[in-house]
């Protein structure tokens, strides 16, 4: 990943979220089982998150497993969970504060415990890596409202909702990158994406490189973000 020119970023780009799509197709095209696509996907996830941290991105969120992904064949689900388990074993030296966002109640208790330990161990990391696992944005919003209702809130503000989401404390993503060619958000960060810039690429996740990240970032900086206002004169 070391290239001579390192792209420069500033405070306008603090948080990038990735929808890591295309592992299955990447494997199919090589006549390999889908599981090997996910394996390669994890290697690329490590490279890309390290690269983003290196260039100064403070917050990264990745969509690792959605609430709908349980519908996949059991063998594939198991392989993704195993990869996560291996990641939790290996990444003890991760210097980012790793947070898992999503509903952990359906996870294997041993995996959930490893997650808890990693979150505890990396608590003081200088940057943030959110891993969305068993995550669905509508469920997250419903969960947030239920939390507020349980706390007796009657007049709910936007700030109350932000604070009750899994992403509490994280700024909204400035840029959401989806690989794999589909042009949709797939129940990812629906509330948080209100003003995010969206970047879609046909590149399959396992083919994603730091150069592709640079292209997405350059595209981000070419856009005018007005947040509903007008251009500054
Ligand atoms: C989408 O590709 C990818 C997933 C549903 C799983 C992504 C998971 C990983 C990369 C592993 C995550 C692990 C860590 C440690 C974060 P797809 O299978 O939908 O691809 P397709 O659209 O080509 O079928």
Active site residue 130: no
Assessment of whether the complete model's pTM goes beyond 0.75: yes
End-to-end alpha carbon distance in the chain: 39
Residue 104: pLDDT band (50, 70, 90) is: very high
φ/ψ (deg, to 5) at 34:
-55, -30
Minimal CA–CA distance to 212: which of 180, 187, 169, 165?
Answer: 180
64 in ligand 1 pocket by Cβ < 6 Å? Answer: yes
Tokens standing for residue 197: 């810039």
102 in ligand 1 pocket by Cβ < 6 Å? Answer: no
- pLDDT beyond 80 at 145: yes
Tell me which residue has its CA closest to atom 10 in ligand 1.
Answer: 41
Beta bridge partners of 60: 16, 129
CA angle centred on 196, ends 195 and 202, rounded to 5°: 145
- pLDDT beyond 70 at 3: no
């Amino acid at each position: 990943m070391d290239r001579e020119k390192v792209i420069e970023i500033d405070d306008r780009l603090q948080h990038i979220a990735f929808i890591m799509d295309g592992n299955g197709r990447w494997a199919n095209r090589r006549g390999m089982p889908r599981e090997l696509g996910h394996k390669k996907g994890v290697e690329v996830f490590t490279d890309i998150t390290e690269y983003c941290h290196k260039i100064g991105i403070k917050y990264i969120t990745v969509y690792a497993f959605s609430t709908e992904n349980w519908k996949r064949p059991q063998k594939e689900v198991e392989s993704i969970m195993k990869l996560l388990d291996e990641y939790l074993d290996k990444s003890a030296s991760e210097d980012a504060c790793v947070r898992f966002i999503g509903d952990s109640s359906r996870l294997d208790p041993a995996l959930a415990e490893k997650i808890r330990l990693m979150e505890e161990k990396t608590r003081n990391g200088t940057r943030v890596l959110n891993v969305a696992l068993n995550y669905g944005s509508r469920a997250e919003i419903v969960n947030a409202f239920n939390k507020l209702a349980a706390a007796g809130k009657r007049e709910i503000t936007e700030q109350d909702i932000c604070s009750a989401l899994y992403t509490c404390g994280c700024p909204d993503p400035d840029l959401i990158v989806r690989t794999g060619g589909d042009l949709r958000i797939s129940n990812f960060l629906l509330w948080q994406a209100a003003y995010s810039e969206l970047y879609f690429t046909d590149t399959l996740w396992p083919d994603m490189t730091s150069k592709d990240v640079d292209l997405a970032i350059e595209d981000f900086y070419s856009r005018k973000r007005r947040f509903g206002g007008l251009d500054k004169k």
